Amino acid sequence: MDWPRIRDDFPILQQEVNGHPLIYLDSAASSQKPRSVIQALTHYYERDNANVHRALHALSMRATDGFEAARRTVARFISASSENEIIFTRGTTEGVNLIANAWGNANLKPGDVILSTGMEHHSDLVPWQLAAQRTGATLKHIPVLDDGTLDIEAFEKLLTPEVKLLAIVHISNSLGTINPVREMCAKAKALGATTFVDAAQSAGHIPLRVQDIGCDFLAFSGHKICAPTGIGVLYGRMALLEAMPPWHGGGEMILTVTLDSCTYKAPPARFEAGTPDIAGAIGLAAAIDYLEAIGLENIEQHGLQLASHALEKLGSIEGLRILGPTTGPRGSLVAFHCDFAHPHDIVEWANTYGIAMRGGHHCTQPLMKRFKVPGTTRASFYLYNTTQEIDRLAEVLESARKFFS
Amino acid sequence: MSPEELRDLYQSVILDHSRKPRNHGEIQPPCLHAHGDNPSCGDEIDVWVKLDDQNHIADIKFTGQGCAISQASASMMTVKVKGQSTTAAAAMREDFRRVVMGDGKPQDEDALGELTLLEGVQKFPQRVKCAMLGWRALEQALEAPAAPLA
């Protein structure tokens, strides 16, 4: 694989920032878009744009075909058993809120336990706090060990018959930890619990097969996998989706409506009230086609190589401490704490040299507290990054160390 | 942002204050106190103030955590306002705000002294809230009722 050539597919990377070639190391927050995705959006808006479903004119039929073809592409991408298990959302956050409301309100009651982890993004924490308040269920968290992995012994103790839902992140956005979601879902399911996996950081980075993971629900965002912002996916096992009441009401999710009542469509339409992000779905399909042409196994290998290189290069900087696993498989990101400067000073310093990183709590405040840091600096990678960029990052961090120390 | 502008932002005096903050710590009650934070970045400053019977700042201390700009600015503030009347401190706050936001000339530049070294913040608008954090906490503390800390 000619990785440096991949960069040519991303027009945005061909620019200078503050007089230096842009080094974009913030893909865990949002990825850049290849030309093919941008062209798919342009093509849609220049030729096919119309509202989907119902209408019988040519443009609407083309828009509908593109939108529904995107659903099939997503189903294939995550090995769902049917495209009807794919619900288009605005992103991971909306997916979690959809389950927490539609499934949660119908299935959780006082005495029930929602079991999550201490390393969740706020988007897989706050919706469950709200669900617990609404339903009287209790929210519990699997602790995180010093090495950034989950305390599996504690998990097994916390996994009691009262657990109705296991909600866990696949790859931590703050630590890079890859959680054993397959084994954890199997254990939870053996006790009759429903399972949800937050795949925001794993989708598009490693091969993702829902039937292999064995989860009931899984969510991810398009914009982190080369697709536009505003589109995301919630996968749900059909038996569960069919039993769920709607969350949002409106057009497109109903069969018949009278002034007093209505009947609902089958999933996925039941959960897609209103005009969806049609262009976004088509852009997402183009992004998936792009990633699959390169190969998810190849992208996974490249990501691990970049992370390993960063662990080695950054790990040798004095006063810099890396959070999360330092051996074995890891997500394609490295978050660290510097004893010589605050994350915002580091990020400001790096920005001057054209390097885009993120500093702060990364929407995981409980985890920052757990590791007793006010925040961290995070360098996150994707298929367009190179080891040379990480070498440059290490140089710039070394200069920051000298300056701030 | 050029490296020169960056070095203006992080001048040696500023870095010195961030590494060795002056008037760092707490004052035992009774005193005025306020907590300031920037939730978006997690920076925090607590300010404790003791006024004399003429409304002069007899003592001031702060604690906090955050970036070099927020901590250095708070440290430099405590040095400048100590011994000043609350009215003079409020005027200084407004002048300092003008300096870091590039919003017109300060009324009394001499009174600001080395605080004007933070004018480099002008080039980094997203850091204005860092530079102002300690001042916001001071303003709140001075507005707070004179009741001692619970």
- Which CATH number belongs to the domain containing residue A250 in this structure? 3.40.640.10
- A364 & A255 share domain: no
Q: How far is A405 from chain B (nearest CA, A)?
A: 8
Two tokens, residue A221: 């965002």
Domain that holds residue B60: 3-143
Instruction: Please name which of A383, A7, A359, A405 lies closest in space to residue A206, comparing C-alpha atoms.
Output: A383
| Residue A350 lies in domain | 3-32+295-404
* A314 and A288 together in one domain: no
For residue A385, the distance in angstroms to the closest alpha carbon of chain B comes to 23
Chain A interface disruption, residue of B2, B6, B8, most A CBs within 10 A: B6
pLDDT tens-digit series, residues A203-241: 999 999 999 999 999 999 999 999 999 999 999 999 999
Backbone angles phi, psi at B19, to 5 degrees: -80, -40
Among B3, B42, B124, the residue with its CB nearest the CB of A375 is B42
Residue A1's pLDDT is 83
Residues A56 and A195 in one domain: yes
Global pTM value: 0.94
Q: Do A262 and A221 reside in the same domain of the chain? A: yes
Q: What per-residue confidence (pLDDT) applies to B2?
A: 80
| B57 lies in some domain | yes
Q: With beta carbons less than 8 A apart as the criterion, state whether A315 and A336 touch.
A: no
Residue B53 CA from chain centroid, whole number: 23
Strands A355-356 and A23-24: parallel
Q: Report whether pLDDT(A53) > 90.
A: no
Complex ipTM = 0.86
Residues from chain A contacting residue B2 (CB–CB below 8 Å):
18-19, 352
Q: How many residues does chain A have?
A: 405
B128 within domain boundaries: yes
As a whole number, mean pLDDT of residues A47-56 equals 90
CB contact under 8 A, A403 and B42: no
Q: What is the mean pLDDT of residues A182-196?
A: 98
Chain B positions touching A345 (Cβ under 8 A) are: 10, 67-69
Over residues A134-164, the pLDDT tens digits come to 999 999 999 999 999 999 999 999 999 999 9
Q: How many domains in chain B?
A: 1
Amino acid in the structure at residue A21:
P
Token match 């597919």: residue?
Answer: A9
CA distance B96 to chain A (A): 21
- A 322-361: CB under 8 A from B: 341-345, 348-349, 351-353, 360-361
Q: Which residue of A has its CA nearest to B17?
A: A404
Average pLDDT estimate for A272-276: 96
Residues A335 and A324 sit within 8 Å (Cβ to Cβ): yes
pLDDT for residue B150:
45
Q: How many domains, chain A?
A: 2
Residues A306 and A392 in one domain: yes
A291-300 per-position pLDDT tens digit: 999 999 999 9
Cβ separation of A348 and B127 shorter than 8 Å?
Answer: yes
CA A280-A172-A369 angle, to 5 degrees, is 125
Instruction: Give A330: exposed, middle or buried? Use CB within 10 Å, 0-12, 13-18, 19+.
Output: buried
- B16 Cβ under 8 Å from any chain A Cβ: no
Evaluate whether residue B150 is within a structural domain.
no
- Whether B6 sits inside 8 A of A375 (CB atoms) is no
Residue B15: CATH number of its domain: 3.90.1010.10
d(CA A310, CA A41): 34
Statement to judge: residues A19 and A47 lie in one domain: no
Average pLDDT over residues A282-303: 98
What percentage of chain A exceeds 70 in pLDDT? 100
Give yes or no: A262 in active site.
no
- Residue numbers in chain B where pLDDT is lower than 50: 149-150
Q: Report the phi/psi class of residue A35: left, alpha or beta, with left for phi > 0 and alpha for psi in -120 to 50.
A: alpha
Asked whether the predicted pLDDT for residue A47 surpasses 80, the reply is yes
A57-72 pLDDT tens trace? 999 999 999 999 999 9
> Do A24 and A75 fall within a single domain?
no
- The whole-angstrom separation of Cα B134 and Cα A392 is 35
What length is written for chain B?
150
The arithmetic mean of pLDDT across residues A21-47, rounded, is: 98
